[in-house]
Structure 1
Amino acid sequence: MIFDQKTPPKGTIRDWLDARASQDDVAVMFPETGEVLTWRALRDQAREMASGLAALGIEKGESVAIVHPNGKDGVLAVYATLYGGFRATMINLAAGSDAIGYALEHSAARFAFVHQSQLGHVVQVAPARLQILIPDHLRGAQPLPEVEPADHALLMYTSGTTGRPKGVVHTHASLLAGGWTTAIAHRLSPQDRGFCVLPIYHINGLCVTMMGALVSGSSLAMTERFSASRFWAQAEAARITWFSVVPTIISHLLHSEADPAPALKACLRFGRSASSALAVETQTAFEDRFGVPIIETMGLTETAAQILSNPLPPGVRKIGSPGVGFGNEIRILTSDLRPAPPLQEGEIAVRGPNVMLEYLRNPEATRQSFAGDWLRTGDLGHIDADGYVFVTGRLKELIIKGGENIAPREIDEVLYSQPDIVEAAAFARPCETYGETVEAAIAVRPGSRLSEEALIALCRQRLGAFKSPECIHFMKELPKGPSGKIQRLKLAELLHA
């Protein structure tokens, strides 16, 4: 398969993995364990596991859940599922038990690859039908179904303003296009090696790094998780040429004592920032200290990651902007969903080969997310005279903490499960570490003995620590609009004036 700068990839994941296997070059190396997968070994093991999945009676396009952190087993699980023509259903390990249970149920998955560390959790929330796959037992000579570019490849759940996660469906074509947009923006080649420290159950880790490497024929170094103290040493040992992170990680690196060695700086071309806005001061300070250019970008789960990127040096990078479209067309829409005049603020919309197929079994949400063939991002912004997009706000009420979307209503529903709570609303508060952090406000019945500590503990149990409020404010009454709807966006202003 040929990587073309101007034309989106043709074929399927299977086609591209077969093509890469013709060269026995490194595909993924794992610095923490010393393991290495070549493209040939990756293809051979994925193909054998896929045949075993087919022998179990799993049908083409059927969901296979993947409950894995980064690592060799997780990578093989993803590629085996994709190679076999099944739908890789990525389960967010940072989600609480409610969201994980919902994803396993809603996806209709009958089988799951589950990492040993996640077995206990999955058993507690999984539907009775779910069977745990044992990779060593996946043997057989069952023929694989034919796969087409338009077939389902990926199912990834993302929070929405309704509180219920939505299942984003990508085809083989859109998933490959997600890797392609990264590859063309960053000029990836077989000589490059990316550093994957973001989880592959997130669209950034899966598409930007894994699919970007597949399409460009480059390689990856992958760690189970980010470590500020070990980042530069791991990067040097792997001889990486670029990395993809979120603003929180850039901030942690900036405030750590470690520095990249001269040998690493000689081969490191750039760092990439995505998932939420990068503070101008943070980007400038990082580049001044480390001498590594940061390329700010923007992407969505619904677009298989990247839609915008700043050009590489010596191209113009506009700090404060996620850049211009690569492989995508960008448009600003007015409130009535018409194209906005030049320089006017409106909703950012995108059209391109990497746009999702649909939200699984949710035709109304799918319909509302499109204006014709333009995907509505829910973000407000404008395009300057040079074609650079500037994001100015969000239409949705999502809390974006460390690059992860958190739906406030998920938290509301847990709080409302307590009979003494009369009103409840979670909201975002600006935070230097995570961009935004979670807080909540409640109004309780007179005489209630509910405590902040007990409510936070309940949220942590139900939703996980990451989504839970840092603090809960007790109010006599929450602010409301004319219709009686709680005005969530006023809470931060009222409580922290």
Structure 2
Amino acid sequence: MIFDKASPPKGTIKNWLDARAEGDDIAIIFPEAGESLTWRDLRDTARDMAQGLVGLGVAQGESVAIVHPNGKRGVLAVYAALYGGFRATMINLAAGPDAIAYALDHSGARFAFVHDSQTEATKKVAPEGLQILTDDMLQKKATLPDFSPDQHALLMYTSGTTGQPKGVVHNHASLLAGGWTTAIAHDLSPQDRGFCVLPIYHINGLCVTMMGALVSGGSLAMVTKFSASKFWDQSETAKVTWFSVVPTIISHLLHSDIDPSPEVCNRLRFGRSASSALAVETQSAFEDRFKVPIVETMGLTETAAQILSNPLPPGVRKIGSPGIGYGNEVCILTPELTPAPPMQEGEIAIRGPNVMVEYLHNPDATAKTFTGEWLRTGDLGHVDEDGYVFVTGRLKELIIKGGENIAPREIDEVLYSEPDIIEAAAFARPCKSYGETVEAAVSVKPGSQLSEAALIDLCQQRLGKFKSPDCIHFLSELPKGPSGKIQRLKLAALV
């Protein structure tokens, strides 16, 4: 398969993996384990595992859950599902037990690839009938059937304002297009090696790095998780030429006292920032110190990651803007969902080959997200005279912490499970480290002995530490609008 910068990839991920396997080039190295995979090794093992799944009776397009951190076995599980024409169902390990249980149940997965470190936790929340796959279970091989580019390929859950996660479905065409938009924006080539420090159960890790390398024919270095103390040494060992991170990571690297060698910085063509807005001061200070250009971008789970990107140097990078469309068309919509005049603020909408198929089992949410061919992002912004998009706010009430979407209602519902709670609302608080962090406000029954520590502990038990509030404010009454609805967006200023 040939990477054509002028048009989206044709075929399926199986076709592209077969093409990459014709040579002996490295696909992924794992510096921590001292292991690597060539494209041929990756294809052969993925094909073998996929044939085992067919032997188990897994049907085309059926969900196969993947409960893995970054690593060799997780990558093989993803590609096995994709190669066989199954729906790779990525389970967010940071989502908390309730959300993981929901995703496993809602997806309808009968089988799951589960990392050893996640086995006990998965068993506790798995729906009845879910089987954890072992090597022995995949011994009976069967012929892989053919499938088309519109076959479901990926199911990834993202938080929404309704509280319950929504299952974003991509087919092979849109998933490959997600890698293509990255490759054309960043001029990726077979000589490039990306650094994957973000989890592959997040759309950035999966599409930007994994699919970007597949489409461009380059390679990756993958580590289990980001470490500020190891990042530059790992970059040196792996000889990476670019990396994709979130603003939190850029901030941690900037505030670390560890400096990379000149060779590392000279080899790095660029660093890529996504998932939330990058502070102007942080970007400027990072580039001044490390002499590595940062390219700010914007993406969504619903668009297989990237929709906007700033050009690479010497192109114009407008700090404070996530850039222009690559492989996508951008439109600003008025409240009436009609195209807005130039420079007018409105809702950012996108159309392109990387847009999702649907929200699984949720036709109402799917219909509300689209207006014609345009996908509504829920973000407010405008386009300047040069075509650069500037994001000015959100229509939705999502809390975006370190690039992860957190639905306030998920937290509300846990707080409301405590009988003494009268009113509860979680909200975002600006945070230099994570972009936003979680706080909540409650009103309680007179005489209640509820404490902040007890409520935070309750949230952490149900949602995990990442999604739980850092602090909870006790108010006599929460602010409300004329209809009696709690005005969540007023809480940060009120407290």
Q: Report if TM-score (shorter chain) is over 0.5.
A: yes
* 2:343 is equivalent to residue 343 of structure 1: yes
Rounded Cα–Cα distance in structure 1 between residues aligned with 2:452 and 2:304: 39
After TM superposition, the score normalised by the length of structure 1 is: 0.99
Q: Is the 8 A contact 2:64 2:112 kept in 1?
A: yes
Q: Is the 8 A contact 2:56 2:140 kept in 1?
A: no
Alignment of 1:376-391 (within 5 A): 376-391=376-391
TM-fit CA distance, 1:141: 3.1
Aligned to 2:478: 478
> Match of 2:28, SS?
strand
Rounded Cα–Cα distance in structure 1 between residues aligned with 2:141 and 2:434: 48
TM-fit CA distance, 1:136: 5.4
Aligned to 1:120: 120
Alignment of 1:319-398 (within 5 A): 319-398=319-398
After TM superposition, the score normalised by the length of structure 2 is: 1.00
Aligned to 1:170: 170
- The amino acid across from 1:428 in the alignment is A
Aligned to 2:416: 416
Q: Is the 8 A contact 2:152 2:172 kept in 1?
A: yes
Aligned to 1:156: 156
- The amino acid across from 1:384 in the alignment is D
- The amino acid across from 2:399 in the alignment is I
Write out the 4+ residue segments of structure 1 that deviate beyond 4 Å after TM superposition: none
Rounded Cα–Cα distance in structure 2 between residues aligned with 1:181 and 1:267: 23
Q: Is the 8 A contact 2:439 2:471 kept in 1?
A: yes
The superposition leaves residues 100-157 of structure 1 with CA deviations (integer Å, 9 ceiling, x where unpaired) of 0000000000000000100111000000110000135422330112111001000000
Q: Is the 8 A contact 2:56 2:137 kept in 1?
A: no
- The amino acid across from 2:184 in the alignment is I
Rounded Cα–Cα distance in structure 1 between residues aligned with 2:307 and 2:202: 16
Q: Is the 8 A contact 1:48 1:139 kept in 2?
A: no
The superposition leaves residues 32-64 of structure 1 with CA deviations (integer Å, 9 ceiling, x where unpaired) of 000000000000000000000000000000000
Aligned to 1:275: 275
> Match of 1:229, SS?
coil
Rounded Cα–Cα distance in structure 2 between residues aligned with 1:197 and 1:435: 18
The superposition leaves residues 348-391 of structure 1 with CA deviations (integer Å, 9 ceiling, x where unpaired) of 00000000000001000000000111000000000000000000
* 2:190 is equivalent to residue 187 of structure 1: no
- The amino acid across from 1:46 in the alignment is A
Aligned to 1:147: 147
Question: What is the root-mean-square deviation of aligned Cα atoms in Å?
Answer: 0.6
- The amino acid across from 2:328 in the alignment is N
Q: Is the 8 A contact 1:274 1:299 kept in 2?
A: yes
Structure 1's unaligned 5+ residue stretches are none
Of 341-350 and 137-146, the range deviating more from structure 2: 137-146
> Match of 2:48, SS?
helix
Alignment of 1:24-423 (within 5 A): 24-135=24-135, 137-423=137-423
TM-fit CA distance, 1:190: 0.3
The superposition leaves residues 224-261 of structure 1 with CA deviations (integer Å, 9 ceiling, x where unpaired) of 00000000000010000000000000000000011121
Rounded Cα–Cα distance in structure 2 between residues aligned with 1:137 and 1:196: 30
> Match of 2:460, SS?
helix
> Match of 2:491, SS?
helix
> Match of 1:441, SS?
strand
> Match of 2:400, SS?
strand
Aligned-residue sequence identity (percent) comes to: 78
Rounded Cα–Cα distance in structure 2 between residues aligned with 1:354 and 1:160: 20
In structure 2, relative to structure 1, the CA distance for the partners of 1:265 and 1:136 (3 Å cut) is farther
Rounded Cα–Cα distance in structure 2 between residues aligned with 1:159 and 1:317: 31
Rounded Cα–Cα distance in structure 1 between residues aligned with 2:463 and 2:336: 36
Q: Is the 8 A contact 1:427 1:491 kept in 2?
A: yes
Alignment of 1:441-456 (within 5 A): 441-456=441-456
The superposition leaves residues 256-294 of structure 1 with CA deviations (integer Å, 9 ceiling, x where unpaired) of 011121121221100000000000000000000000000
Q: Is the 8 A contact 1:334 1:346 kept in 2?
A: yes
- The amino acid across from 2:192 in the alignment is D
Aligned to 1:428: 428
Q: Is the 8 A contact 2:295 2:309 kept in 1?
A: yes
Q: Matched residue pairs, number? A: 495
Rounded Cα–Cα distance in structure 1 between residues aligned with 2:447 and 2:29: 59
Rounded Cα–Cα distance in structure 1 between residues aligned with 2:315 and 2:416: 51
Q: Is the 8 A contact 1:192 1:240 kept in 2?
A: yes
Q: Is the 8 A contact 2:221 2:238 kept in 1?
A: yes
> Match of 1:199, SS?
coil
In structure 2, relative to structure 1, the CA distance for the partners of 1:136 and 1:284 (3 Å cut) is farther
In structure 2, relative to structure 1, the CA distance for the partners of 1:199 and 1:291 (3 Å cut) is same
Rounded Cα–Cα distance in structure 2 between residues aligned with 1:137 and 1:293: 48
Rounded Cα–Cα distance in structure 2 between residues aligned with 1:237 and 1:428: 38
Structure 2's unaligned 5+ residue stretches are none
Rounded Cα–Cα distance in structure 2 between residues aligned with 1:338 and 1:266: 46
> Match of 2:257, SS?
coil
- The amino acid across from 1:358 in the alignment is E
